[in-house]
Chains A and B, each alone.
Chain A
Amino acid sequence: TQLLEQSPQFLSIQEGENLTVYCNSSSVFSSLQWYRQEPGEGPVLLVTVVTGGEVKKLKRLTFQFGDARKDSSLHITAAQPGDTGLYLCAGPPRGSDMRFGAGTRLTVKP
């Protein structure tokens, strides 16, 4: 069982559509991070959320940390083919050991 459960596992949409992916846990996290990984490369940090209820925006990407700090969501508005990739959430359950979810593999078709 994953400490961080991500859904959906796979998502294929058309360019211009909106989407939301989720990261859930039964544990409370001091912070959660979102990374994007492209084929043949390592994950790259997109954002860190720290405060319960926090919302952060990065261009067309909106990240939210749940009030109880157990879950997070990533919403993409008007998805583009360049958004294609594996989206991973991560958090330190014991303060310094960064654990990752299994990821959502997003494909945006032109």
Chain B
Amino acid sequence: DAGVIQSPRHEVTEMGQEVTLRCKPISGHDYLFWYRQTMMRGLELLIYFNNNVPIDDSGMPEDRFSAKMPNASFSTLKIQPSEPRDSAVYFCASSLRINTIYFGEGSWLTVV
């Protein structure tokens, strides 16, 4: 299997612009997670889905963040409008019945 695939790998954008991060989970996995990692706050759970349904989005920082999972093989995390404090590494991860969580390589976002 190709593993969890994220795009873009790196993005630099200006404050106020819309950012869309994409994720393709491992085929057959029923859980999908979005995490954000910074030096200050570590690895934070933003939202997770089970069978394409959002289960807990309490970690989403504010209304500027939204996530969708239209089907079992695709998810997006959108930030609109982006702010410099959103700069971080965003990880998508998937798992089968909350066993091993497999992470993508991350999307490195810089908002200037």
Contacts and interface: CB of A to CB of B under 8 A. Distances in A.
How would you classify the secondary structure of chain A's contact residues: helix, strand, loop or mixed? Answer: loop
Interface string B1-35: 00010000000000000000000000000010101
Contacts of A100: 35, 42-43, 45
How would you classify the secondary structure of chain B's contact residues: helix, strand, loop or mixed? Answer: strand
A91 B41 CA distance: 17
For chain B, give the interface size range. Answer: 20 to 34
A96 B31 CA distance: 9
A44 B42 contact: no
Contacts of B101: 33, 43, 45, 90, 98
A20 B62 CA distance: 38
B45 A98 contact: yes
Given A97-B45, A98-B33, 12 more contacts: A2-B42, A41-B103, A41-B106, A42-B104, A48-B100, A96-B50, A96-B55, A96-B98, A97-B48, A97-B55, A100-B42, A102-B43
Interface of A: 2, 33, 40-45, 48, 88, 90, 92, 95-103
